[in-house]
Amino acid sequence: MGVDYITISQLPPEFMDELMREFRPYTVALSRIRNNDAKTFRALGAGVFVTKGKRFGILTAHHCLHACQPEVVLGPGGIDTLILQLQRGPISIGPNDAFEHVLARPVSDEFGPDLVFVEIFGDKRATILRSVSAWPLEENHAVLARTLATPTNLTCLIGFPALDSVTSIEPKAVHQDLKHMTFIAAIEAAGVFEKDGWDYIDTTCDYSGKDALPSTFGGVSGGPIWGVRARKDKVSGRLSIDASALIGVVFYEGPKVKERRKIRGHCVHSIYVKGWINLPH
């Protein structure tokens, strides 16, 4: 099978649109309200719906729930309600509808490790699953993810940039206007690496190009990174998605140096295997 190489700037608009549509059902914007008081509203970042065995919930970065003050508290004794902004509209998750499993508690901003899984239970689980897609974090999907987390393959980083979000808070209600964004890049030669048993994927953002990039990626933390292999039709020349898999979760935005910055996420081994080692089955 022959392989053609093109630059990101050469991707046709219709294929870019396909990428944006493909992964939207898996993505969620996270925010919280404490003690049902709208004044305590806080946007938290992004996440991705996943399953792990019989569990269903949201995989996101640990700091999305714990960088705020006071930190989010879910489960028994919890007093926070999560607001999930889905493609079809918002849904609330009460403190007893979810439980936070800490997969990796950060020891540094730059390398984390930085992952949590918010497991969702009961009626809310059934309600959400009727309107979203959830990616299975199982070995057969990990095999595909490993093949796609390699240099020159496409990646899609997805989130809700805070700079493009508008929030209005009323005494008994919160209104959010969010912009779902897909940032498309290609995996660099040294873009995937390991440190202290965790693996990482770096994406370089180049501000010197024509693409309009946000000055900060706040609101993208916790969002998914998808690996994509494209197919080109021999007759029409049309590009389409040949294969895709969840390959990472964003957690770190590096400083801007000479018109470039790194966006870092945990990669395949961390999200499919390493983070779950100490979690009971």
Q: Please state whether beta strands 55-60 and 173-177 pair in parallel, antiparallel, or not at all (unpaired).
A: unpaired
Whole-model pTM above 0.95?
A: no
Give the model confidence (pLDDT) of 93-145 as tens digits.
Answer: 988 899 999 999 999 999 999 999 999 998 999 999 999 999 999 999 999 99
Give the model confidence (pLDDT) of 76-89 as tens digits.
Answer: 888 899 999 888 88
Q: Which two tokens stand for residue 253?
A: 């935005």
CB atoms within 10 A of CB 72: 23
* 237 CB-contact burial (10 Å; exposed 0-12 / middle 13-18 / buried 19+): exposed
Domains (range + CATH), the chain? 8-24+136-270 (2.40.10), 26-129 (2.40.10)
- Is residue 56 pLDDT above 90, yes or no? yes
Buried b / exposed e along 73-84 (16+ C-beta atoms within 10 A) = bbbeebebbbbb
Give the model confidence (pLDDT) of 253-281 as tens digits.
Answer: 988 888 788 999 999 999 999 999 977 65
Strand order in the sheet with 154-159: 181-186, 154-159, 224-232, 239-253, 260-266, 198-206, 192-195
- Is residue 2 pLDDT above 60, yes or no? no
Q: Where are the alpha helices (DSSP H) in the chain?
A: 13-23, 62-66, 122-129, 139-148, 268-272
Asked if the peptide bond before residue 13 counts as cis, ω within 30 degrees of 0, the response is no
The confidence score (pLDDT) of residue 8 equals 75
Give the model confidence (pLDDT) of 219-232 as tens digits.
Answer: 789 999 999 998 88
- Is residue 212 pLDDT above 80, yes or no? no
